[in-house]
Amino acid sequence: MSILAHQSTKLLVQGITGNEGLFHTQQMYQYKTNIVAGVSPGKGGEWVLDGKIPVFDSVKSAVEMTGADASVIFVPAKHCADAIFEAANANLPLVVCITEGVPVQDMMRVKRFLAQRSTRLIGPNCPGILTPGETKIGIIPGNITQPGNVGVISKSGTLTYEVLYALNQAGRGVSTCVGIGGDPVKGTGYVELLEMFEADAKTDQIVLIGEIGGNEEEAAAEYIARYMTKPVVAFIAGVTAPPGKRMGHAGAIIEGREGTAQEKIKTLESSGIRVAQHPEQIPTLLN
C-alpha cells in the first residue's frame, strides 16, 4: 500500500501559477502524479500545462469541483500559514508544504489549529513525499530511485536524494520517502511516520535521516525500541557542526548541550538502531 501518497491520490497545487509552483507541477505531472487542480487566488478560471489543469480561486471550490484529497503548497512564506489554514478548512486529509522560511510563531498557531482538525500536515520546508512508481507530491527527483521495500523519513532535502541515490546504486528500492522538513515546528514528526511504516505491508525496513537540533531523533529512538518490529537504520548529519550556529535549516542548531549529533547517535545506538557514518554506508547496514 505504501504510506500517505498513492496512485489514487488526487492532488491540488496551491500557488500553481508561481514560478516554483508551475515548474514542479510540470515535474510531478511527468511523474504521472494525478494533479486535478491548482489554486491561485485571483486566477480562477485559467488553465495551466496547456489546458490540462484548471485553476481555482479557492481550495474549497477546487475540492468541490475536482474531489482533490491532498494539497501541495508552493506559496511564499508570508502567505503560507494562510494557505495551510485554507486547506485545513476545506478538510483536506493531507497537506504537504514545500515552502521554506515560514515564521516560527505562524507554525505554532498552525500546529495548534490542526490539533483540532483531521488534516495531516507534512513540512514546511520539506521536499515532500515520493512513492516510487506511483506518485510524487513535492520536489524529490523521481528518477533517482525505484519501487522497493525501504521506507525513508528525513528532515533534509538533497541529503535525502543522496541517500535515495545510494540505495538505488545498491539495488535497493523505496516504498515511500517522506521529507518532514528542517524547521523546529512542523506538521508531522518521525514517530507518526514510523508508526505508519510499521503498519505498512510494503515496507520491510526503514531509513531515518536526522540532523542536529531538538530532540526528535531521541524520541524516535525511544519509540523504535518500544514499538517497532521492523529494522531501522539511521544517519545523523552535523557531527562536526559548531554549537550556537544555525546550519541552514531553522531547526539545525545546537543549543547549549542539547541537540548534538553525538548525543542523538548515542541514544539511537543504545536503542539498538544501526547508525551509518556516512550516507553511502546506509545500504550496507540494511537487511
Partner 1 sequence: MKLHEYQSKQIFARHGIPIPEGRIAGTSAEVKQIAEELGGQVVVKAQVLVGGRGKAGGIRLAKTAEEAQEFANLILASEIKGLPVRKVLVDEAVSIKQEFYVGITNDRIRQVPVLITSGAGGMEIEEVAQKNPEKILRTEIDPLLGLCDFQVRDAALGMDLPRPLWKNFTEIIQNLWKVYVTCDASLAEINPLVLNAENHLVALDAKVIIDDNALFRHADLADLRDMDAEEPAETEAHKFGVTFVKLDGNIGCLVNGAGLAMATMDILSLCGGKAANFLDIGGGASAEKVSASLKIILNDPKVSSILINIFGGITRCDEVSKGILAAVTEMKIDIPLVVRLVGTNQEQGLRLLQQTNFTAAETLYQAAQLAVEHAKESVS
* Maximal CA-CA distance, the chain: 57
Tell me if 140 contacts partner 1 by CB under 8 A: yes
Tell me if 282 contacts partner 1 by CB under 8 A: no
Cα–Cα distance measured from residue 181 to residue 155, given in angstroms and rounded to the nearest whole number: 5
Residues 237-276 that bind partner 1 (CB under 8 A): 237-242, 245-252, 256, 261
Residue type, 95: V
CB 3 to partner 1: min, Å: 21
Minimum CB distance to partner 1 smaller for 38 or for 187 = 187
Rg (CA), the chain: 18
Tell me if 139 contacts partner 1 by CB under 8 A: yes
Cα–Cα distance measured from residue 36 to residue 55, given in angstroms and rounded to the nearest whole number: 9
Annotated catalytic residue within 6, 24, 79, 249? 249
Q: Is 24 a catalytic residue?
A: no
Among 34, 58, 61, 215, binds partner 1 (CB under 8 A): 215
Tell me if 52 contacts partner 1 by CB under 8 A: no
Tell me if 101 contacts partner 1 by CB under 8 A: yes
Which span sits near partner 1 by CB under 8 A: 37-45, 86-94, 134-142, 195-203? 134-142
Tell me if 228 contacts partner 1 by CB under 8 A: no
Tell me if 15 contacts partner 1 by CB under 8 A: no
Dihedrals phi, psi of 217, to nearest 5 degrees: -65, -35
CB 40 to partner 1: min, Å: 20
Catalogue the active-site residues.
Answer: 249
Residues that bind partner 1 (CB under 8 A): 23, 77-78, 101-109, 111-113, 139-141, 144, 154-162, 165, 182, 184-185, 209, 211-212, 214-215, 235, 237-242, 245-252, 256, 261, 277-280
